[in-house]
Amino acid sequence: MSIERPAARVALSLASVLASAPAWAHTGSVAGGFLGGFAHPVFGIDHVVAMVAVGLWGAFLGAPAIWLLPIVFPLVMACGGVLGILGVPIPAVETGIATSAVVLGLMVALAARPPLWVAAVLVGAFAIFHGHAHGAELPAGADAVAYSAGFVIATGVLHLAGIAFGTLAAWPAGRLAVRTAGGAIALAGVAFLALR
Amino acid sequence: MSLLRAAVVAALALTATPALAHDLVPGVSGLTGGLLHPLLVPAHLMALAALGLFLGQQPRRTSAGLLAVFTASLIIGVIAIVSAVSPVYQGDVVLAVAAIAGLLVALARPITALLSLSLIAIAGIVLMLDSVPHEMSMQTTFLALVGTVIAASIMITLVAEAGRALTRDWQRIGVRIVGSWIAASAILVLALRLAR
């Protein structure tokens, strides 16, 4: 059959597209997905303390670490998440997460100031473990976008909370408070390790 | 019955099947549905936000040119839909665009004009191809597509201008952090979709 009239061609083309490929298939609850993702790191105390420690350490190290670490962490965490989603095994993920709290907490408690690249590599390495754990638990379905956005933002908010608290280090009393918080985080990490 | 009438009847008959699906907002379709679509689909929202922030980091003249290319590519997307192009992986490409644009925002480094142009042009086309509504008539479908073109163009312009207005150091860092969040979220969901 030859179709000569342009309008008819358009109508048939449109019909075939709409009938064959339901591309507007964004289903699921966006709000529920976002809130579920946001709650995921917030209700995992081992994630919380490590994220806060990243922010504390960034604030302690000052610029450019204060902004580099919160940028590096989610990106590397996503790489770890991809490994988790693809089922690539990483040994001792939970131990790695607990160790991140110990090491990052100690860095803050000891007021360690290594070169920036060392700090970035250290934080990035631990981000792999956190990302792997998150990635393995990402839900299937259309609201996965909202879920992942929720937990990435929650992670970032925890970093920012750490940075906000870490800015107290500008004052002597605040510096003591920040280092004490670092010590508490390290101790919490030791407890996580002991409970494994 | 003329060929055109036959085509329209065929179009209506064929498009009756997707009525089993739903609108993003029940009862909202046509132009309003199209206007709301970029705001209500998380992947599109992320991609547009990242692209807008990316444009906001470019010189004003470059940004204006890229905005024009973006709107033109949206219209090309509409033409592709009407021409019965039936893509399969447009949702994945939208996420890839969000990831790349988010990474570029986080890196905040100059890139070649060809890369910027390619990213923006691909983004506009795939955003439209991923915005095909389940409509019962050609008229409301077309209105929805027009609404999406308008909303996407306005949104990316507003985000670009908002990003450009953030001139303080900490504000620019905040933009880069948001870029890293978008990239991380998009990478994770892309991996999830590819894995399953």
pLDDT, tens only, B40-97: 888 899 999 999 999 999 999 999 999 999 999 999 999 998 887 777 788 899 999 9
- Which residues of chain B make contact with A135, given a CB cutoff of 8 A? 188, 191-192
Flag whether residue A156 sits within 8 Å of chain B, measured between CB atoms: yes
Residue B18 lies in a domain: no
Q: What are phi and psi of B84, to 5 degrees?
A: 70, 20
Residue B1 lies in a domain: no
What whole-number distance in Å separates Cα of residue A3 and Cα of residue B90?
29
Residue B160 lies in a domain: yes
- Which residues of chain A make contact with B84, given a CB cutoff of 8 A? 12-14, 16-17
Flag whether residue A148 sits within 8 Å of chain B, measured between CB atoms: yes
Residue B57 lies in a domain: yes
Q: Does the distance separating the beta carbons of B43 and A145 come in below 8 Å?
A: yes
- Domain range for B86 is 28-195
> Which residue from B46, B86, B192 is facing A20, i.e. has the nearest CB?
B86
| Helix and strand numbers, DSSP H then E, in chain B | 8, 0
Residue B133 lies in a domain: yes
Higher per-residue pLDDT: B8 or A45: A45
- Which residues of chain B make contact with A144, given a CB cutoff of 8 A? 188-189, 192-193
Q: Does the distance separating the beta carbons of A14 and B82 come in below 8 Å?
A: yes
Side-chain-side CA neighbours of residue B185 (13 Å): 36
DSSP code for A139: P
**pLDDT of A128 higher than 80:** yes
The DSSP result for B157-180, as a single string, is HHHHHHHHH--SHHHHHHHHHHHH
High-pLDDT (> 70) share of chain A, %: 82
Chain A: residue whose CA lies nearest to B43: A145
Higher per-residue pLDDT: B25 or A91: A91
Number of domains in chain B: 1
Residue B161 lies in a domain: yes
Residue B150 lies in a domain: yes
Residue B179 lies in a domain: yes
Q: Does the distance separating the beta carbons of B189 and A152 come in below 8 Å?
A: no
Q: What ipTM is given for this predicted complex?
A: 0.72
- Which residues of chain A make contact with B77, given a CB cutoff of 8 A? none
Q: Does the distance separating the beta carbons of A23 and B141 come in below 8 Å?
A: no
pLDDT value, residue B17: 35
Chain A: residue whose CA lies nearest to B92: A145
